[in-house]
Structure 1
Amino acid sequence: MKKALLTGAALLASVVSATAQAERDYISIVGSSTVYPFSTVVAERFGKASNFRTPKVESTGSGGGLKLFCSGVGDATPDITNASRRIKESEIELCAKNGVKDIVEVTIGFDGITFANSAKAPHMTITRKDMYLALAKMVPATDGSEKLVPNPYKTWKDVNPALPAKKIEVLGPPPTSGTRDAFAELAMEGGCSEIPFIKAMKKTDEKKFQAVCQGLREDGAYIEAGENDNLIVQKLVANPDAFGIFGFSFLEQNSDKVQGSTVDGKLPTFDNIASGDYPVSRSLYFYVKKAHVGVIPGIQEYLNEFTSERAMGEDGYLADKGMIPLTEDAYKQQVKIAKGLIPLNAK
């Protein structure tokens, strides 16, 4: 009798196998708009060089992608999700709740978040503290007291006399974006932490500290421009007074149209991001549903292509697209994870 009963895991696997083989013969990839160009070029090369269909890659934002990825197991759910930030504990819990238990995390490289404007406009030199004061919903009162007030600043000059007397107008990603999360943590929180009484708040009330530092104003100075970074580039070209927030790869691909601001004395260059000198840089990832490997055709082979020396290596085609490669040791570790399908909880 016991032998006749399928375990929950085996039953799930049989359902995945039956539905996936019947319904889908291509890899489904969702997630980060920043990782999208890298994933797309790998998918295209993989489709041309192999006997598998070209994977379908969709740009949904890191948060949106992880939500889809964690919605369950089976052909109606994505096999892989790209992310420009690390998966959150709450997302791992959501995955587990919906039967997605063996998640393979692969770090693919680094990216810098650029604060850019039109190449025809004057170059901007700014600090993370300036960014916080310009874009935060709540900022310290101008009378020098340790009191937080709704952001009163209208122009960059109001924030810092050394900055231009131009209206604060910044186009950036929505809450579902990993770029938004990383910008809030690395730029906004980095600048906010330079104000002593707010920095002290982190020890006494971390939730309030995060809300103060990462909360973006909603009065029109910060404009959510969706998940399409190319659209932000187009809007900056049309409006030389505006600034935009997006990944380094989009800056590099559009260097004839837009320029990156100097942040805390460092330009967003390949070398500055690779060395860690540029202060607003982050790791890029993709996550694989191990239960789908061997069921949806080509997943392991796609991972092999993505983590190959010709793609992710120092002189690989992803570096040509603007991705900052990992160090040699870190790269070898990611190859090992991808080939062995080593889950997050087994690292």
Structure 2
Amino acid sequence: MRLATLAVSALSVAALSASAAAARDAIRVVGSSTVFPYTQAVAEQFVNNTGAPSPIVESTGTGGGMKIFCAGIGEAHPDVTGASRAMKRSEWDLCISNGVDDISEALIGYDGLSIAISRQNDFDWDLTLGQVYLALAAQVPVNGEWVDNPYRKWSEIDPSLPDVEILAFGPPPTSGTRDAFVELAMHAGCEELDYVKNGGFDSKWVKENCSRMRTDGPFVEAGENDNLIVQRLEADPHAIGIFGYSFLYENLDRLKPVNIEGVEPSLETIADKSYPISRPLYIYVKNPHRGVIPYLEEFIEEYMSEEALGPDGYLAERGLVTLPDDLRAEVQDRVLNAEPMEPPAE
């Protein structure tokens, strides 16, 4: 079986070599909207250093990027995908089924999931995860019953909150930001509620009942372009937006953070995990494309460089929370040597 797999892989690489040389000379990257600006920054530096054609970097969302990345080997398929969560086993299985069986995984750093509001809004926002859940979930407890969410104003959740309509712009289901927000904010917020704590409900119940965002108006799926969310927040000072910390970091002149559980998102609070909604960021590299797609190896070297990933690197200047020195060195060594990743857990 192993010999057959190697034979198929060899044929795939041979086909890739023949087609890629004639078909494209630009590196192609897809994936997470949160990882997108970091990859763009690496692409710009890479072009400045090498004079190579500009990589094509697309913001498709983590889930969408995985589907495209795992569709096959060859010039028609991307070389790299960004992800705001680790690859799922189902995505790994899709890759394997399409012959994408040699992938390097790079944890590039950490990011906080920020909730932000326009600087025109003068309220001192500080929400618990329970309040976030009650505002945005499809179903909530009311008078001891689990019902469709009736709350329309923040003040209905807590009288100390503003008497304004709930309106939140957030990521769609294809986004890794959405996956992470559901897991880190919605599930955790649901678990804070007395109905859940006192009801003896386990994590399986929480996952089954607390994962759906409401679809009756207060939560609006704003697509994969986080810049559009920033524009909408400026247009409506009472609306909140949900996106990666890097977008808040880059727009602090126009937006301000909503504190969560009394903690403001920052490079320091995300790094020390005191900010409760933080997550890892990844890129995945299709190793059979190395040495075939022009300049891909040099692009990966730039991405893994200290100038990019280090604590004083240009990605940190854009809001990436960098890895500890020992972990970063381990990741760099593994990816530069094209070591294949282990299959994700079931």
TM above 0.5, yes or no, is yes
Q: How does 1:85-100 map to 2 (within 5 A)?
A: 85-100=85-100
2:191·2:206 contact (CA, 8 Å) conserved in 1? Answer: no
TM-score between the two structures when normalised by the length of structure 2: 0.94
Report the residue type matching 1:131 in the other structure. Answer: V
Q: How does 1:126-205 map to 2 (within 5 A)?
A: 126-141=127-142, 143=143, 145=144, 147-195=145-193, 198=196, 200-202=200-202
User: Please, what is the CA RMSD of the aligned residues?
Assistant: 1.5
2:190·2:206 contact (CA, 8 Å) conserved in 1? Answer: no
Which of 298, 301, 317 lines up with 1:301 in the alignment? 298
Q: How does 1:281-320 map to 2 (within 5 A)?
A: 281-320=278-317
Q: Kindly, what percent of the aligned residue pairs are identical?
A: 47
1:23-56 residue CA offsets vs partner (Å, 9 max, x unmatched): 0112100011111111001001101211532211
Between the aligned partners of 1:159 and 1:277, the Cα distance in structure 2 is 25
Instruction: Name the SS of the counterpart of 2:59 in structure 1.
Output: coil
Q: How does 1:59-138 map to 2 (within 5 A)?
A: 59-121=59-121, 122-138=123-139
Question: Where does the alignment leave 5 or more consecutive residues of structure 2 unmatched?
Answer: 1-5
Between the aligned partners of 2:136 and 2:269, the Cα distance in structure 1 is 25
Report the residue type matching 2:253 in the other structure. Answer: D
Which of 232, 235, 250 lines up with 2:232 in the alignment? 235
1:277-335 residue CA offsets vs partner (Å, 9 max, x unmatched): 10001111000111111111122211111111111100000011111111111111111
1:136·1:212 contact (CA, 8 Å) conserved in 2? Answer: no
Report the residue type matching 1:126 in the other structure. Answer: L
Report the residue type matching 2:150 in the other structure. Answer: P
The Cα of 1:61 is off from its aligned counterpart by 0.7
Report the residue type matching 2:169 in the other structure. Answer: L
1:250 match: 247
Report the residue type matching 1:132 in the other structure. Answer: Y
1:8 match: 8
Report the residue type matching 1:322 in the other structure. Answer: G
Between the aligned partners of 2:127 and 2:26, the Cα distance in structure 1 is 45
1:48·1:54 contact (CA, 8 Å) conserved in 2? Answer: no
Between the aligned partners of 1:231 and 1:54, the Cα distance in structure 2 is 24
The Cα of 1:195 is off from its aligned counterpart by 2.7
TM-score between the two structures when normalised by the length of structure 1: 0.94
Which of 339, 342, 346 lines up with 1:345 in the alignment? 342
Report the residue type matching 1:187 in the other structure. Answer: A
The Cα of 1:115 is off from its aligned counterpart by 0.7
Instruction: Name the SS of the counterpart of 1:154 in structure 2.
Output: coil
Report the residue type matching 1:188 in the other structure. Answer: M
Instruction: Name the SS of the counterpart of 1:344 in structure 2.
Output: coil
Aligned residues: 336
The Cα of 1:196 is off from its aligned counterpart by 5.2
1:123·1:259 contact (CA, 8 Å) conserved in 2? Answer: no
Instruction: Name the SS of the counterpart of 1:81 in structure 2.
Output: strand
2:212 match: 215
Between the aligned partners of 2:225 and 2:8, the Cα distance in structure 1 is 40
1:48 match: 48
2:89·2:343 contact (CA, 8 Å) conserved in 1? Answer: no
Instruction: Name the SS of the counterpart of 2:105 in structure 1.
Output: strand
Between the aligned partners of 2:324 and 2:186, the Cα distance in structure 1 is 28
1:3 match: none
